[in-house]
């Protein structure tokens, strides 16, 4: 075998080497990938042999062919040392090829790189500026942190070179150095200031880029470079007013690259500084007015100008001008420009709402664009534009789009339309009509909390019961394919069926309809027999039928209801069978059945809120601010995205909300994992929720204790004392959206209305301070109940990081206490302003008040989301 290898090597060695041109021709002549691989492998073998022979005369050709092979995608790492030898050659041609090979074949993780440092150091001090340029270019491309530290002083010296070519290359190398070793930025501060005075556009571009990087990495440098704002303004003015310059002209615009770089740096330097912003207003207006917008070069400058105007403390008229520029972008045929405009308008709509409103029609036109990404951005912007004045017009347009929208849009659209209608509805009838229209168009995509909100709206609008039930009855007669519409209609008909039948004939969409007792029950039966029925629909229909049995009086109708229920007593679905049997048994107690089946009390208003910023499809909670909360079990199941457990008793079934589903307390591993995520524990997914466990067990056991506590069961008492922040915290307290449960009557919902009645207190106890946000607590003892502590939370923004938005404040208390939180006055804290929120803690055992906090917010200065944890407590003596 060895002899065969030796023979093959000798044969290959005798074959003449290709020249580079010949190799390229041979590769191009290959008709298949296999032929190409054969040619490359044969040539690679020859190159290895040539490298072993260390023929210095053929080294240049060898490396050139190696680089070509590398660009074809074949391995060429075996030529790294040849590149190093070429870089050490005194010839410029060899150095150029050697450094090119080093940049292609070697990265900062390659061990061979350490051998390059000495060669680079020698060439950085060379008298030939082109050799110095080669070394700087190589350093800027492959420098590691060690190499950056070793060569930092040479680069700093070259920044002050009298040669323009070298200064430009040195600035780029310095950029690489501070990215690899940020603490070295101080070495380049003084030299980078001098670069701004350079007359060469190339040096200016690299100098501005270097300063921008230093300001972004180290915000404290902004103050040092802010004095250069007048100089930057002068440079930008010269570029805008300069005539034709063939050296820097790009399709009629003078050096757009430098203009964009200067605008970005100005945006950083003038942020949160009124004086610097005032110095820029005139030039920004000049750039926005005089820049040509018919070509992409001009559009790129206009886009950067808009971002700068919106970022700094510019004048109101300038902001309107920036929004108008984005409006022009929307009429551009280029989808990329339209997308950028919509994305930017989404960010600025909160600052200049009225200016954006002027472009409402063209934004709505984008809903019909063929590009799905543009439709998505336009949809987000359309919802952001809704207010009291235009809610009718925009909602009508959005409902028209909902009819033809892709399925992926419909769930988020129905959710947002319901939010907008709830917030800006001019009257209840319009609100009901809007929700009805939405249910007709996308009833299969309506989330549970939206359906619950609609039913709550109907129940609260007693003067519109007849109108609503007639509309739903007529809609159900036409279409039973939309599940959301079916569920809402069945619930309302079951609750207010007597109003429907007593009204007799009514007109709906110019069609006269007759609603008698027989037709109502027949409609419900047709739903049960229809092709779209599922278990949830059957549950609703059967509940509606038993309710109608106490509202409708005809004997034939009563017999029909009994017959339908009797047929389902042998259903294969356990829940359906159980309900049918229980409902049939209720007919044996006619003396109490009407009382059991009387109308449900009108629920109090609950506002649908979004608890995170993950997008329109993220989970949402419902929170009531004026009533005692539901049971912990119901709240927990809501959090997990399932309905409450529908028990066997008829009372449970009668009072189930539209969110009620067939699910019981989940015992599967994925639900256990979800609970563990909610409470920050690592629960065991294998244990059953019915198994008690001591408190000293793992996170999974603590999770089981929590489930047992929620379900009203007591787990086996632990021998050791539980930790102060056990997983058995009040369920929603740990999520910052806590409500009192039925076991804590002391924390009544009315207490949260006292937010505005608390005496204003200027001082407080600081609980958190970071990124310009300070959170302080002002505690006071409740006047009516000494075991309740009112805590006013102050969110103060000193303005150092700009506006703080998306603020989410969550708190947890020890097991012996109960926590209740009102909504914050605002989730956005403007610079130098304060927002408030009220917390109430029921502390019957008078133990020390300790809080575990979770704070989440977005910094407008960087766009970064900050998620922090903090602990506070106890309060000092005499605090309340």
Give the tens place of pLDDT for each residue, 358-397: 898 899 888 888 889 999 999 999 999 998 888 999 999 9
Q: Does the pLDDT value for residue 605 go beyond 80? A: no
Q: Does the pLDDT value for residue 204 go beyond 90? A: yes
Those residues with Cβ within 8 angstroms of residue 584's Cβ, 6 or more apart along the chain or in another chain: 562, 565, 566, 569
What pLDDT does 13 receive? 43
Those residues with Cβ within 8 angstroms of residue 688's Cβ, 6 or more apart along the chain or in another chain: 667, 704
Residue 43 or 683, more confident: 43
Using 50, 70 and 90 to split pLDDT, how confident is the model at 525? very high
Residue 829 bridge partners (DSSP): 804
Q: What would the mean pLDDT of 836-862 be, rounded to a whole number?
A: 88
Distance CA 689, CA 176 (A): 56
At 865, list the tokens: 């989301």
Using 50, 70 and 90 to split pLDDT, how confident is the model at 843? confident
What pLDDT does 164 receive? 92
Distance CA 543, CA 2 (A): 87
User: CB 350: neighbour CB atoms within 10 A?
Assistant: 12
What pLDDT does 3 receive? 52
Distance CA 845, CA 746 (A): 13
Residue 789 φ then ψ, to 5°: -110, 125
User: CB 280: neighbour CB atoms within 10 A?
Assistant: 26
Task: Encode pLDDT of 340-358 as tens digits.
Answer: 999 999 988 888 888 898 8
Q: Does the pLDDT value for residue 489 go beyond 90? A: yes
Identify the domain boundary among 728, 758, 788: 728
What pLDDT does 628 receive? 34
Distance CA 36, CA 204 (A): 46
Query: Is residue 586 within 8 Å of 596, Cβ to Cβ?
Result: yes
Which DSSP string corresponds to 521-549? Answer: HHHHHHHHHSTT--HHHHHHHHHHHHHHT
Distance CA 806, CA 809 (A): 10
Using 50, 70 and 90 to split pLDDT, how confident is the model at 875? confident
Residue 675 or 26, more confident: 26
Q: What would the mean pLDDT of 541-547 be, rounded to a whole number?
A: 93
* Domain shared by 472 and 523, yes or no: yes
Helices (H), 242-334: 256-269, 274-290, 296-311, 316-330
C-alpha angle with apex 148: 144 to 151, nearest 5 degrees?
A: 135
The pairing of strands 253-254 and 505-508 is unpaired
* Domain shared by 712 and 761, yes or no: no
Distance CA 151, CA 653 (A): 78
Closest by alpha carbon to 624, among 606, 651, 609, 648?
606
Residue 858: strand, helix, or coil:
strand
Using 50, 70 and 90 to split pLDDT, how confident is the model at 618? very low
* Domain shared by 722 and 799, yes or no: no
Residue 1: strand, helix, or coil:
coil
Distance CA 777, CA 188 (A): 44
Those residues with Cβ within 8 angstroms of residue 523's Cβ, 6 or more apart along the chain or in another chain: 473, 476, 477, 493
At 255, list the tokens: 């050096």
Report the percentage of the chain scoring pLDDT > 90: 38
Q: What would the mean pLDDT of 453-460 be, rounded to a whole number?
A: 92
* Domain shared by 509 and 575, yes or no: yes
The answer to whether residue 801 is domain-embedded is yes
What pLDDT does 491 receive? 94
* Domain shared by 692 and 586, yes or no: no
Using 50, 70 and 90 to split pLDDT, how confident is the model at 763? low
Q: What would the mean pLDDT of 10-28 be, rounded to a whole number?
A: 69
The answer to whether residue 4 is domain-embedded is no
* Domain shared by 699 and 831, yes or no: no
What pLDDT does 682 receive? 39
What pLDDT does 17 receive? 52
Q: Give the lowest-confidence range in 38-52, 656-670, 824-838.
A: 656-670
* Domain shared by 703 and 765, yes or no: no
* Domain shared by 696 and 782, yes or no: no
Q: What would the mean pLDDT of 512-529 be, rounded to a whole number?
A: 87
Burial class of 767 by CB neighbour count within 10 A (0 to 12, 13 to 18, 19+): buried
Q: Does the pLDDT value for residue 826 go beyond 70? A: yes
Residue 831 φ then ψ, to 5°: -55, 140
Q: Does the pLDDT value for residue 695 go beyond 80? A: no
What pLDDT does 107 receive? 81
Q: What would the mean pLDDT of 844-869 be, rounded to a whole number?
A: 87
Q: What would the mean pLDDT of 598-621 be, rounded to a whole number?
A: 54
Q: What would the mean pLDDT of 497-525 be, rounded to a whole number?
A: 81
What pLDDT does 606 receive? 58
Residue 812 φ then ψ, to 5°: -135, 150
The answer to whether residue 29 is domain-embedded is no
* Domain shared by 716 and 851, yes or no: no
Residue 790: strand, helix, or coil:
strand
Identify the domain boundary among 567, 596, 625: 596
Give me the number of domains the chain comprises: 3
The answer to whether residue 31 is domain-embedded is no
What pLDDT does 784 receive? 79
Distance CA 547, CA 687 (A): 40
Distance CA 83, CA 68 (A): 14
At 212, list the tokens: 């921008």
Task: Encode pLDDT of 636-664 as tens digits.
Answer: 333 333 333 333 333 333 333 333 333 33
On the question of a cis peptide bond just before residue 193, with omega within 30 degrees of 0, the verdict is no
Query: Is residue 203 within 8 Å of 167, Cβ to Cβ?
Result: yes
Using 50, 70 and 90 to split pLDDT, how confident is the model at 18? low
Identify the domain boundary among 557, 577, 596: 596
Q: What would the mean pLDDT of 21-40 be, rounded to a whole number?
A: 91
Those residues with Cβ within 8 angstroms of residue 394's Cβ, 6 or more apart along the chain or in another chain: 360, 364, 382, 385, 386, 420
CATH of the domain at 786: 2.60.40.1230
Closest by alpha carbon to 279, among 344, 334, 228?
228
The answer to whether residue 812 is domain-embedded is yes
Query: Is residue 450 within 8 Å of 421, Cβ to Cβ?
Result: no
Q: What would the mean pLDDT of 469-493 be, rounded to a whole number?
A: 92
Using 50, 70 and 90 to split pLDDT, how confident is the model at 241? confident
Q: Would you say how long the chain is, in residues?
A: 880
The answer to whether residue 188 is domain-embedded is no
Domain residue limits at 709: 681-728
Distance CA 292, CA 281 (A): 19
The answer to whether residue 228 is domain-embedded is no
Task: Encode pLDDT of 398-450 as tens digits.
Answer: 999 998 888 888 899 999 999 999 999 999 999 999 999 999 999 899 999 89
- pLDDT, the chain, mean: 79
Q: What would the mean pLDDT of 503-532 be, rounded to a whole number?
A: 82
At 71, list the tokens: 């660009």
For 600-621, b/e burial (b = at least 16 CB within 10 A) is eeeeeebebeebeeeebeeebb
Q: Does the pLDDT value for residue 247 go beyond 70? A: yes
Using 50, 70 and 90 to split pLDDT, how confident is the model at 56? confident
Q: Does the pLDDT value for residue 765 go beyond 60? A: yes
The beta-strand segments (E) located in 521-623 are 607-610, 620-623
- Which CA distances in Å does 559 have to 46, 495, 549, 581, 709? 97, 19, 9, 16, 44
The answer to whether residue 848 is domain-embedded is yes
Query: Is residue 187 within 8 Å of 172, Cβ to Cβ?
Result: no
* Domain shared by 685 and 763, yes or no: no
* Domain shared by 699 and 555, yes or no: no
* Domain shared by 790 and 841, yes or no: yes
Closest by alpha carbon to 428, among 454, 393, 398, 390?
454
Distance CA 335, CA 123 (A): 48
């Amino acid at each position: 075998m060895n002899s065969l290898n030796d023979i093959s090597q000798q044969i290959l060695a005798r074959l003449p080497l290709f020249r580079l041109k010949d190799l390229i021709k041979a590769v191009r002549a290959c008709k298949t990938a296999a032929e190409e691989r054969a040619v490359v492998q044969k040539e690679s073998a020859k190159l290895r042999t040539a490298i072993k022979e260390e023929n210095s005369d053929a080294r240049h050709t060898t490396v050139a062919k190696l680089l070509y092979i590398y660009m074809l995608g074949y391995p060429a790492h075996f030529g790294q040392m040849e590149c190093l030898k070429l870089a050490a050659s005194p010839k410029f041609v060899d150095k150029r090829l050697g450094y090119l090979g080093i940049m292609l074949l070697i990265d900062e993780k390659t061990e061979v790189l350490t051998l390059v440092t000495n060669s680079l150091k020698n060439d950085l001090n060379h008298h030939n500026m082109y050799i110095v340029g080669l070394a700087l270019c190589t350093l800027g491309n492959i420098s590691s942190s060690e190499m950056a530290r070793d060569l930092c002083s040479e680069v700093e010296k070259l920044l002050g070179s009298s040669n323009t070519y070298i200064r430009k290359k040195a600035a780029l190398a310095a950029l690489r150095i501070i990215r690899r070793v940020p603490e070295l930025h101080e070495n380049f501060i003084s030299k980078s200031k001098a670069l701004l005075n350079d007359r060469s556009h190339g040096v200016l571009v690299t100098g501005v880029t270097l300063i921008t990087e230093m300001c972004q990495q180290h915000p404290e440098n902004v103050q040092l470079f802010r004095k250069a704002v007048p100089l930057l303004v002068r440079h930008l003015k010269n570029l805008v007013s300069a005539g034709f310059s063939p050296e820097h002209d790009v399709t009629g615009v003078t050096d757009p690259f430098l203009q964009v770089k200067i605008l970005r740096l100005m945006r950083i330097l003038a942020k949160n500084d009124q004086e610097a912003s005032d110095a820029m207003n005139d030039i920004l207006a000049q750039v926005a007015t005089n820049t040509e917008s018919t070509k992409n070069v001009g559009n790129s400058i206009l886009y950067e100008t808009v971002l700068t105007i919106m970022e700094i403390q510019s004048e109101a008229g300038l902001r309107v001008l920036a929004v108008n520029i984005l409006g022009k972008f929307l009429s551009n045929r280029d989808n990329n420009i339209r997308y950028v405009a919509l994305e930017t308008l989404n960010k600025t709509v909160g600052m200049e709402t009225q200016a954006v409103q002027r472009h409402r029609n063209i934004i709505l036109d984008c809903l019909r664009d063929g590009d799905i990404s543009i439709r998505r951005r336009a949809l987000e912007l359309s919802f952001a534009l809704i207010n009291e004045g235009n809610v009718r017009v925009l909602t009508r347009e959005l409902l028209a789009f909902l009819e033809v929208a892709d399925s992926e849009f419909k769930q988020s659209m129905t959710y947002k339309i319901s939010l907008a209608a709830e917030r800006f509805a001019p009257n209840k009838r319009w609100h009901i009509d809007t929700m009805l229209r939405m249910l007709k168009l996308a009833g299969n995509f309506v989330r549970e909390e939206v359906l619950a909100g609609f039913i709550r709206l109907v129940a609260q609008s007693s003067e519109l019961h007849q109108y609503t039930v007639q509309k739903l009855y007529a809609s159900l007669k036409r279409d039973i394919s939309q599940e959301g519409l079916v569920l809402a209609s069945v619930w309302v008909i079951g609750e207010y069926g007597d109003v429907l039948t007593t009204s007799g004939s009514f007109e709906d969409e110019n069609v006269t309809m007759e609603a008698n007792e027989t037709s109502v029950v027949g409609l419900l039966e047709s739903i049960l027999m229809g092709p779209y029925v599922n278990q949830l629909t059957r549950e609703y229909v059967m509940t509606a039928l038993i309710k109608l049995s106490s509202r409708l009086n005809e004997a034939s109708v009563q017999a029909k209801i009994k017959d339908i229920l009797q047929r389902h007593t042998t259903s294969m679905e356990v829940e359906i069978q159980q309900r049918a049997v229980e409902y049939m048994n209720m007919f044996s107690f006619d003396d109490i059945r009407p009382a059991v089946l009387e109308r449900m009390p009108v629920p109090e208003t609950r506002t649908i809120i979004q608890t995170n910023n993950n997008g329109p499809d993220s989970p949402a909670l419902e929170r009531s601010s004026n009533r005692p909360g539901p049971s912990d079990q119901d709240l927990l199941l809501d959090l997990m995205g399932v309905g409450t457990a529908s028990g066997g008793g008829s009372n449970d079934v009668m009072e189930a909300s539209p969110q009620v589903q067939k699910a019981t307390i989940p015992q599967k591993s994925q639900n256990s994992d979800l609970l563990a995520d909610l409470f920050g524990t690592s629960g065991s997914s294998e244990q059953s929720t019915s198994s008690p466990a001591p408190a000293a067990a793992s996170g999974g056991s603590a999770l089981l204790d929590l489930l047992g506590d929620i379900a009203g069961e007591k787990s086996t008492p632990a021998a050791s004392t539980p930790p102060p922040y056990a997983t058995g915290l009040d369920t929603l307290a740990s999520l910052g959206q806590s409500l009192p449960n039925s076991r804590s009557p002391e924390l009544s919902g009315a207490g949260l209305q006292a937010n505005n009645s608390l005496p204003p207190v200027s001082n407080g106890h600081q609980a958190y301070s970071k990124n310009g946000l300070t959170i302080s607590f002002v505690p006071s003892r409740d006047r009516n109940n000494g075991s309740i502590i009112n805590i006013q939370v102050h969110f103060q923004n000193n303005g150092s990081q700009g506006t703080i938005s998306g603020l989410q404040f969550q708190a947890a208390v020890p097991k012996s206490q109960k926590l209740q939180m009102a909504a914050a006055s605002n989730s956005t804290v403007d610079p130098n302003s304060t927002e408030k929120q009220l917390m109430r803690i029921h502390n019957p055992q008078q133990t020390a008040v300790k809080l575990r906090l979770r704070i989440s917010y977005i910094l407008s200065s960087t766009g970064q989301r900050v998620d922090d944890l903090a602990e506070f407590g106890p309060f000092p003596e005499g605090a309340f």
